[in-house]
Amino acid sequence: MSFANKTVIVTGGARDIGRAITLAFARAGARVTFTYHGSKDAAEATLAAAAGLAGTCRSIHADLTEPTEAAAVVADVIAQGGGPIHALVHVTGGLVARKRLAEMDATFFEHVMRLNVTSAFQMAQAAAPHMRAGSAIVLLGSQAGRDGGGPGAIAYATAKGAVMTLARGLAKELGPSGIRVNALAPGMIATTFHDTFTASEVREKVAAGTPLRREGAAEEIAAAALFLASSDAAFVTGASLDINGGTYFS
């Protein structure tokens, strides 16, 4: 799949799944702009890793929970001669912390929603006017949005379920313009997310119970993102692609 000279924005593209997606598009020849927030060192490492690939790669610091910053990112890309936008891949999001119902307050819940859902809405709203027929938006959902998540993941699971619903709604609205919108729903992928929030014994148990008997790799999510952004997926829109090794069937 070639994305030679095509403009791609990857939010949260500095590490883990985001980095794998950024590098995959750069390897395929795209002009990639990725955003980062709290991971400057990781952003610099991603830029270094992209050096010498077929495409180009640049980074922008942004807090996409803020209403004006999504528009600023898109405006920057367009100002650099990056229009029209061929693909927006929105990876920004996170669990923040594991909190059960009694431990959460409204401020925490709303923050998780803003980080995962509002950021996706704001990026799609900013990017869509600069997209043309044949372009694509790919949002990052989660298996948690399918099955409710693990202990203390109510807010995160709710947010990821909303992200996948957002993809379906956007697919209907933007479809007549030829813009496709899909989501990815990863299961347990070997990333710093699970290094931080999931105990090693839980990871081992989940991997052992997966039909493929392993965790997934960030590069496997990146391959799916490229497919959904490519013309090979020209008749795929409104879908949430499960990538979990068979742990959960939707």
The CA distances from residue 76 to 82, 179, 227, in Å, are 9, 21, 26
**Three-class secondary structure of residue 32 per DSSP:** strand
Residue 192 lies in a domain: yes
Q: How far is CA 175 from the centre of its chain?
A: 20
Residue 172 lies in a domain: yes
Annotated catalytic residue: which of 156, 186, 191, 207? Answer: 156
Domain count of the fold of the chain: 1
The Cα 107–Cα 91 span in angstroms is 22
End-to-end CA gap in the chain? 27
Residue 1 lies in a domain: no
Please, which pLDDT band fits residue 194 given cuts at 50, 70 and 90? confident
Please, which pLDDT band fits residue 244 given cuts at 50, 70 and 90? very high
Which of 54-68, 136-150, 173-187, 197-211 bottoms out in mean pLDDT, i.e. has the lowest? Answer: 197-211
Residue 104 lies in a domain: yes
Q: Which CATH number belongs to the domain containing residue 111 in this structure?
A: 3.40.50.720
Mean pLDDT of the chain: 96
Tokens of 146: 């399918």
The Cα 50–Cα 47 span in angstroms is 5
Residue 201 lies in a domain: yes
> The whole model's pTM is what?
0.96
Domain holding 61, by residue range, is: 7-243
pLDDT at 196 over 90: no
Tokens of 32: 């990639």
Would residue 156 show up in a list of annotated catalytic residues for this protein? yes
Residue 44 lies in a domain: yes
Residue 250 lies in a domain: no
Residue 55 lies in a domain: yes
* 199-216 residue pLDDT tens: 888 889 889 999 999 999
Percentage of the chain beyond pLDDT 90 is 89
Percentage of the chain beyond pLDDT 70 is 100
> Residue 118 — φ and ψ, nearest 5°?
-60, -40
